[in-house]
Amino acid sequence: MPHELQQFRQRLGEYAADHVEAVAVQGQTHRYTYQQLLGEVGLRTHAMHGQPAGALVLALDNGPDQLFWDLAALFAERPCVIVPSFFSAAQFDHCINQSGASVVLCTPRWAAQLAGKGFVEQGEFWVREASSRVALPVGTAKVTYTSGSTGSPKGVCLSAGSLLRVARELEAASRPTSPQRYLAVLPLGVLLENLGVYAALMAGACVQLYPQEQLGMGGASQVDFKRLLCAIALSGAQSLILVPQLLLGLVTAIERGLMQVGQLRFVAVGGARVSPSLLARAQAVGLPVFEGYGLSECASVVALNRPGAMRPGSVGKPLPHVQVRIAEDGEVLVAGSTLLGYLEDAPVTQAWWATGDLGHLDADGYLYLDGRKKHQFITSFGRNVNPEWVESELTQGGVIAQAFVHGEALPRNVALLWPLDPNLSDLAIDQAVQRCNAQLPDYAQVHAWHRLPAPLSQQDETLTANGRPRRQAIFKRYQTLLSDPLK
């Protein structure tokens, strides 16, 4: 068993022995002490014995049961895949196929799909004998799928050591504020949230795990803020992790007097670029917000502002478990706790991981981000979207000739469209958009669109010689249209 894993289990055992009444996990209907948590994990570890070898896939809603299975797989050194609850049916299918899963625990939502793939229900498990075993990189403890910049996201294989080093540093970063109640807001299928829960357990805190619906969270970008804010207030949470759009809702509610900062001591925010003005508003209302930066290929968090080490405009100093340097072209490179490899790809052997992000370090070692090398954008909910994926879906339906999709740091994606028939009605275009949306997960859908005043062309330099969109030129030319009130 890796050293970090032994340390984690030992720490949980110490809490169970020394703080017999301390609550480790609070769910919708039950609470569990640290001693009970270890008991539940032990029962699930035993239940996995005799099941076919291979990755365990968890497609469950947030709650104690999901955490217990996750920890059981971790301590049993069985690779585990936690499927984000906002994945589409096609993406779920891709996860099952690519990971070579033989054992699945899921909500009823996925039952028919699993049955169609040859899985058989056996008690609480869905099981199949894999026709061919997928070769995971040696030491894989978790396969995490990001939201996916395209329709087929890659599975990132990470070791237990990498995961737990990040969790340990997150716990250390929040330690000066001593939070004792941690509310999991994001789905556990989001690696950042998964590690946030581990960090809270390392601190001996109470992890509050409630179904996403109870928190007002639906899909990747649908939020009932009234329900979410009530949940935060009623839980007495002292610490949580948010994406920028959720932080905006929280700050706005506090500004309007709809809720108070309350007992919140440490609010980490990441997953996408955070507006400096939003951070300033949070500071003005006394909300203790700490912006960070990370990526799945580096086991999530790389840098973080933290108590006693904050610099507005930066994403903080790199955490002690990693090294960061800037390449000659400005790309951020990271060493330490990087991935073992992608599923279906060769193992990663290089020490330094090229992040695809541009940035710089100041004289004191704070990291600043300056954009991304590729076209991919990140919504304000922290979902990665490759616009070319969505644009291809829009233009392959026989109605729309040209499409440009934009969503960087926005809660909703907007498209500029030109139909095959210039005389086509707005209603017909909208119907085509809705048909396209039906094939996409909600974070990639087009939530609003505008008709282009003229088709993109080489003459106005919005297309390259081979017909590809010149994205910066299009954005500059139509910036006013993109910022207009959305249809």
- Examine the domain organization and report whether 172 and 305 are in the same domain: yes
pLDDT for residue 191: 96
Q: Which of 102-111, 247-256, 352-361, 372-381 has the lowest mean pLDDT?
A: 372-381
- pLDDT tens, residue by residue, 124-175: 999 998 656 788 999 999 999 875 555 567 899 999 999 999 999 999 999 9
Average pLDDT over every residue of 94-109: 92
Does 150 or 198 have the greater pLDDT score? 198
Q: What is the pLDDT of residue 130?
A: 67
Residues 314 and 435 occupy one common structural domain: no
- Taking the C-alpha atoms of residue 366 and residue 292, their distance in angstroms, rounded to an integer, is 11
Same domain, 18 and 53: yes
Residue 30 lies in a domain: yes
CATH number of the domain to which 420 belongs: 3.30.300.30
Q: How distant, in Å, are the alpha carbons of 70, 99, 118, 119, 319 from that of 130?
A: 21, 11, 10, 10, 40
Q: Which residue has the tokens 């030319």?
A: 477
* Together in a domain, 153 and 91: yes
Q: How confident is the model at residue 213 (pLDDT cuts 50, 70, 90)?
A: very high
Q: Could you give the number of structural domains in the chain?
A: 2
C-alpha distance across the termini of the chain, in Å: 55
Q: What percent of the chain has pLDDT over 90?
A: 77
Residue 290 falls inside a structural domain:
yes
Q: What CATH number has the domain bearing residue 7?
A: 3.40.50.12780
Q: Measuring CA to CA, how many Å separate 434 from each of 208, 238, 437, 447?
A: 37, 41, 5, 9
Q: Are residues 172 and 107 in the same domain?
A: yes
Question: Which of the listed residues 375, 399, 430 is the one where a domain comes to its end?
Answer: 375
Angle among Cα 279, 281, 284 to the nearest 5 degrees reads 110
**The pLDDT of residue 85:** 84
What pLDDT was estimated at residue 87? 84
User: What pTM does this model have?
Assistant: 0.85
Q: Are 233 and 208 in contact (CB under 8 A)?
A: no
Asked if residue 42 is part of any domain, the answer here is yes
Could you tell me if residue 381 is inside a domain? no
Residue 336 has, within 13 A of its CA and on its CB side, a CA count of 16
Is residue 369 located within the same domain as residue 392?
no
pLDDT, tens digit (0-9, with 9 covering 90-100), for 360-385:
999 999 999 987 777 788 899 999 88
pLDDT of residue 157: 97
Nearest CA among 350, 349, 353 for reference residue 327? 353
Asked whether residue 280 is domain-assigned, the answer is yes
Distance, CA of 481 to CA of 485 (rounded, Å) = 9
Give the other-Cβ count within 10 Å of 259's Cβ. 13
Residues 423, 463 within the same domain: yes
Of 328, 353, 375, the residue at which a domain comes to its end is 375
Residue 64 belongs to a domain: yes
Does residue 226 sit within a domain? Answer: yes
Residues 218 and 334 occupy one common structural domain = yes
Q: What is the mean pLDDT of residues 19-30?
A: 96
3-state SS assignment for residue 119: coil
Residues 99 and 233 occupy one common structural domain: yes
In a domain, 363, yes or no: yes
Amino acid present at 138 = V
Q: Is residue 315 predicted with pLDDT exceeding 70? A: yes
Comparing CA positions, the residue from 78, 71, 12 lying closest to residue 42 is 71
pLDDT band per the 50, 70, 90 thresholds, residue 221? low
How far apart are the C-alpha atoms of 197 and 203, rounded to whole Å? 10
Same domain membership, residue 315 and residue 284: yes
Query: Helical H runs in 59-218?
Result: 64-75, 89-99, 111-116, 160-174, 191-202
Domain-ending residue, one of 320, 342, 375: 375
Three-state DSSP string of 35-103: HHHHHHHHHHHHHHCCCCCCCEEEECCCCHHHHHHHHHHHHCCCCEEECCCCCCHHHHHHHHHHHCCCE
Residues 193 and 149 in one domain: yes
430 and 286 in a single domain? The answer is no
Residue 437: which pLDDT band, with cuts at 50, 70 and 90? very high
Give the range of the structural domain holding residue 468, as residue numbers without chain letter: 386-483
